[in-house]
Structure 1
Amino acid sequence: MAKNPVIDILFESLTESTQENQILYRKIARNYDKSYKSLSLLAPTTLANTVSEYFSASGRNSKDLYTLDVCSGTGLCGEALRKVEWLGVIDGVDGCKEMLEVAQTKGIYRTLYHQLISAESPLPIQNSSYDLVTCTGGLSFGHLPYQCLEMLLDILVPGGLLAINVSSYKNPGSDVKYQESVEKTMKQLLGKCTLVKEVRVDVVKDDTRYSHGIEYEQILCYQKDA
């Protein structure tokens, strides 16, 4: 089983408290990209390819589109979008200042908002502002509250796309309960959006995530109803 100290620390040390987890991210921010990429984790790349294909098929040019990368961290999703020649404006928001400082050095984002998103602390963004909202890695236990999913839909323009990744766990626990809550919430929101794309990425057994219970990941794309 491949070992990755930084990623292992995340899995072993994350708690239900989003505030406590931000302290952990501050400590690992400078080494996060190297550790993440060494595992060949596919969520940002798969999501970027999926949304690029979706908008291309609809005849929309990415240079005309505005994107908000939620829980943007060090900018891995933004990087992946640029690699598929996503030319439009990308903004980002994250609760960890140190992670955002790394993202800022990449020259990808127009604006980076430092904010820990919650129902009590909504985004400082007007509704119907973005064509695409992405979230890779943020929809997990101790991160973005699943109750905020409707907020992410609200900031999309009608016909805009919400693209998220969620993990499927082999064993019951807090992570499973959180993912079940995400799925339940999105089903409740189907009156406001439509699931238009679903991509499954299996986790191989020599991946450190497998030892922490993740069986596969999914990229889910929801189009906001007009």
Structure 2
Amino acid sequence: MSLDLEKAKVAWNLIYNDLLVSDTKEGLLECYDRHAFRYDQYIKDIGYNMPAKTAKLLMEYGSLGPESEVLDVGAGTGILGKELHNLGYTGKIDGLDGSSGMLKVAESRKLYRNLVQQFLTADCALDIGDVMYDAIASVGVFSALQVGASVAKSLFNHVKTGGVVIISYRVIETTTSDSEFNAELKDTIKSLCDKGKASVIAEHSTDLYGVNFFAGDPSKPCPGMCLCLRKT
């Protein structure tokens, strides 16, 4: 799909120079709340591919059916729920996100059973009670700017043995913080695997966005990774 680079540049600047600029919890949530009702247009304009790719991998590796339960961590406006629905998924899906504004948009889709507002911090417990899911996914949430790598451990406390966890994130490193985050995420996953809590099913390189204004040629896609894991 070809993108309008002028529209893409405007959307990119709004995301990276307005939305993702605060270094405090309160500031970040205020930005997400303020942009919530325009967010879907932003990501359409930059060709955000990761939710669709993650939904396909969930269906493939999770063997999801009408009785399945899925948790969308960092659900935002509910785009992953929409993509699962588009693939014919008829099971239950719950969502968790820190922004009340984003969750209002997700609720309007009428695809989620439960939506929980929680800002995720290092090593936090997910505020979802004792529900155990068949699959958990987090799309574009784990990063140096948002949710830290250690939170990945918490996902495995709420997925059934044999269940699937997919973490999809940007791999391009533009700052030292990006490099440190990617290294920490790899170490976190390695630790889970070494302890026998998880195994790697696959690592799928994919386009995160259809444009890349981090690079010299913005018409080239921005790389991402879908890390597919199974609880052991």
TM-score, normalised by the number of residues in structure 1: 0.88
Q: Which one-letter code corresponds to 2:114 in the other structure?
A: T
Distance (whole Å) between structure 2 residues aligned to residue 176 and residue 193 of structure 1 = 23
TM-aligned CA distance change 1:202 to 1:141, over 3 Å: same
63-72 vs 119-128, greater mean Cα deviation: 119-128
CA contact (8 A) 2:50 2:208 kept: no
Aligned-pair distance for 1:197? 2.0
Question: What pairs with 1:145-156 in structure 2 (closer than 5 Å)?
Answer: 145-156=148-159
Distance (whole Å) between structure 1 residues aligned to residue 171 and residue 72 of structure 2 = 22
Aligned-pair distance for 1:17? 3.0
Q: Tell me, what secondary structure is at the counterpart of 2:171?
A: strand
> Which of 149, 167, 171 is the aligned partner of 1:168?
171
Match of 2:12 in 1: 7
Q: CA deviation digits over 1:17-55, x for unaligned, max 9?
A: 343211111111110001111222110000111121223
CA contact (8 A) 2:160 2:231 kept: yes
Corresponding position: 1:71 with 2:78: no
TM-aligned CA distance change 1:145 to 1:171, over 3 Å: closer
TM-aligned CA distance change 1:86 to 1:208, over 3 Å: farther
> Which of 102, 107, 116 is the aligned partner of 2:119?
116
Aligned-pair distance for 1:209? 5.7
TM-aligned CA distance change 1:185 to 1:16, over 3 Å: farther
Q: Percent identity?
A: 25
Match of 2:202 in 1: 197
CA contact (8 A) 1:18 1:143 kept: no
Match of 1:133 in 2: 136
RMSD of aligned alpha carbons: 2.4
Unaligned runs of 5+ in 2: none
Match of 1:25 in 2: 32
Q: Which one-letter code corresponds to 2:37 in the other structure?
A: R
Q: Tell me, what secondary structure is at the counterpart of 2:103?
A: helix
> Which of 153, 156, 161 is the aligned partner of 1:158?
161
Distance (whole Å) between structure 1 residues aligned to residue 57 and residue 40 of structure 2 = 22
> Which of 183, 186, 194 is the aligned partner of 1:183?
186
TM-score, normalised by the number of residues in structure 2: 0.86
Distance (whole Å) between structure 2 residues aligned to residue 110 and residue 208 of structure 1 = 37
Q: Tell me, what secondary structure is at the counterpart of 2:52?
A: helix
TM-aligned CA distance change 1:206 to 1:142, over 3 Å: closer
Match of 1:224 in 2: 231
Unaligned runs of 5+ in 1: none
Aligned-pair distance for 1:203? 5.9
36-45 vs 120-129, greater mean Cα deviation: 120-129
